[in-house]
Amino acid sequence: MPIFFDEAKGLFHLQSRNTSYMIQLVRGYAAHAYFGAKLRQNGNLDELLTFKERASFSPNPLPEDKTISLDTLPQEYPQYGTGDFRSPAYQVRLANGARATELAYKSYRIIPGKPALEGLPSVYVERESEAETLELELFDAVSGLTVYLCYTVFEDFDAIARSARFRNDSGEAMQIERALSASVDFADASYDALYLSGAWARERHVQRRRLAPGLIGISSRRGASSHQQNPFLALLRPEADERQGEVYGFSLIYSGNFTAEAEVEQFGTTRVSLGINPFDFNWKLAPGETFQTPEAVLVYSSEGLGGMSRTFHRLYRTRLCRGQFRDQERPILVNNWEATYFDFNADKIEAIAKAGSELGIELFVLDDGWFGHRDSDNSSLGDWYEDRRKLPQGLGDLARRVKETGLQFGLWVEPEMVSPDSELYRAHPDWCLHVPGRRRTEARDQLVLDMSREDVRQYLYERLSDIFSSVPVSYVKWDMNRNMTEVGSAASPAERQGEIAHRYILGLYELLERLTSEFPHILFESCSGGGGRFDPGMLYYMPQTWTSDDTDAVERLKIQYGTSIVYPVSTMGAHVSAVPNHQVERTTSLKFRGDVAMSGNFGYELDLTKFTDEEKEIAKAQIAIYKEIRGLVQQGELYRLKSPFEGGETAWMFVSPDKNEALLFYFRVLAEPNGPLRSVKLEGLDPAKDYAVVGNGKVYGGDRLMSAGLSVASVSRDFSSMMVRLKAVH
């Protein structure tokens, strides 16, 4: 059993394969006692916490015990207003205007397996034996507020999932103003903070900073998890790197406004907290009602960032992603966006599909421009009816023509948006997010539909389900191309307006659950201007995401490397596009672009009818190779060997679970005159096994490949790459 309770000591001990997490009951408070490498349950676990009287500026809730102060006690769910001056996990405003509450431990229960979260995505179990859940009941007798803290221990996955559920047990409504998912206090501040930051077309670049007194925080106030920051934060010991050292990872399963922060306080301790961003958030909790926070996933690794990443990858790939495509090899696709933009007809689409079929491609995706009167991005969003000018015989006929070439048919949609120039907006101008008397700010000539409204969700369900039922669609790219402004709803009263951003996300999740459940044969891919909503919440409904609108292979090295810090390769869409690249106008070889794209869910995003004979042969070879290796790429263990953030080289590799097969990719961005003869040390192999290089038959010991390395001296030109396949020799 992974959860133990020593009643005499008031100590809860949560154990996974390599991790322990401990909660100590201290004078009625749920205190955080330990999080780190696994400790023996039968060992001496006394005195994990040290108590000492501090100066009078750290007030004492118990006058008879000056060693207890909420300003110094490491708490599991710290509160505001009763003595703890650090960042609180929650804040509630009562009917009388008071904001001070104090949660005391009341009871606990241990639940086999893991309960689902109502209305929210979360990691799950397939068998009760995979996990165990501790639920702590905390109660504030004055206000009538009850908070349930839930901790699920995934024993074999080596991860802990946390969330909180509020219940109003009073006779009056209260306002939740802050409701985070997790808060963890560390005993010291000798850490670096690592997070993923960027912008549109430059997502999830790795940032690392040393902690110091004060606050390091990341957040989104954009209505989505955003291109700019990702709902993930890690603490690393200063000496930790990819291969060794202590790392603590915190990931939030949520797609809206979030906050994640690390606060170093006066006595050199560190508090990490994450959850819904309290900025512009308010939730009215009526008597008897409950409020559920999103789920946070906590991972400890003693094997550096790589060890942490592989834990997240295994968990998210197999216990967050769902559906029949979770474990399936993903199809190789061609998307017409950069080939045609809005200028296409059925014949042009069929020609691209036919060219793709001749190369071995398996799926064609029709992107933006097939509906309404969509000749540019300034109209028709919301009018989900085929444009008979471009497609005289309709969408069904085009899908049939594509399928006759041997390809599956996929479709782009952007359901959450509406164009002011659309039939939908003219009929329902109140269906968008807006504030009375204020302008309706447009971005990309579009407004945001109010997903908190049931009538909006029902309209979208009816239109989309009609298309998915009548057209043989195998794949859907679900896009969302702007952030929220004037966040208000005409369907909600004044006192509920602070709830709209969160209710939007809840409404989106409801619609996605409905559609993905009804159409399980469709592979859904999430997109938000590329990576603007690449988060665990969306992966629960859609097992892959368009990683970035930037398809330049050099830029993609950083984007895909940074994304892999948390997210498995099976979730990353990666395509070969035309050169000069449409985002940065860089020209790279088809081989280089292919090797980068084959490090994800592979596809093409260009006009295949314009390929030269030489390019056709290269593409055929890429597609044939990817069909052989995609199981390893999408389901194997990823090892990052060289970082694009630290020089002109990038390298990563994939290893099968049985360590019988491996795949190395090495990339050089710029050539170096008369440079060193470089090699790369591999990882994850079995040192006792011998490995043959596919293609030349050379055999190397796994120990030699990991300790002495493999030469990459032949990769010496600008924008050059190498792929090496290894198979164990029995």
Q: Which candidate in 192, 383, 387, 479 is catalytic?
A: 479
DSSP per residue over 710-729, as a string? EE-TT--STTEEEEEEEEEE
Distance, CA of 78 to CA of 29 (rounded, Å): 10
> Could you give the CA distance from residue 661 to residue 692 in angstroms, rounded to a whole number?
10
Write out the two tokens for 253: 């399963």
Write down the catalytic residue from 387, 549, 552, 595: 549
Say if residues 108 and 149 touch (Cβ distance below 8 Å): no
Contact in structure between 243 and 304 (CB atoms under 8 Å)? yes
d(CA 159, CA 242): 19
Alpha-carbon radius of gyration of the chain: 27
User: Cα separation of 295 and 253, whole Å?
Assistant: 5
Kindly report the number of other CB atoms within 10 A of residue 194's CB atom.
20
What Å distances lie between residue 730 and 595, 632, 705, CA to CA?
28, 19, 17
CA distance 426 to 429: 6
- What's the rounded Cα separation, in Å, for the pair 314 and 657? 11
Q: What's the DSSP call for residue 528?
A: B
* Ranges assigned E (strand) in 618-660: 637-642, 649-655
Tokens, residue 464: 């989309």
Are 276 and 256 a contacting pair, CB within 8 Å? Answer: yes
Give catalytic status of residue 479 as yes or no: yes
Q: How far is CA 261 from CA 235, 279, 402, 699, in A?
A: 10, 14, 49, 48
**Does 703 participate in catalysis according to the annotation?**
no
Helices (H) and strands (E) in the chain, counts: 12, 38
Using a 10 angstrom Cβ sphere, with 0-12 exposed, 13-18 middle and 19 or more buried, the burial of residue 238 is exposed
Question: CA–CA separation, 448 vs 274, rounded Å?
Answer: 26
Burial of residue 663 (number of CB atoms within 10 Å: 0-12, 13-18, 19+): buried
User: What are the φ/ψ torsions at residue 104 (nearest 5 degrees)?
Assistant: -115, 150
Burial 243-279 (b: 16+ CB within 10 A, else e): ebbbbbbbbbbbbbbbbbbbbbbeeebbbbbbbbbbe
CB-CB contact of 83 with 61 (8 Å): yes
β-sheet bridge partners, residue 135: 109, 150
- Give the C-alpha separation, 311 to 154, whole Å: 11
Neighbours of 29 (CB within 10 A): 22
Look at strands 417-418 and 544-546 and give their pairing.
unpaired
* Tokens 């909006």 found at: 456
Q: Which residues pair with 572 in a beta bridge?
A: 545
Q: Which residues are identified as catalytic?
A: 479, 549
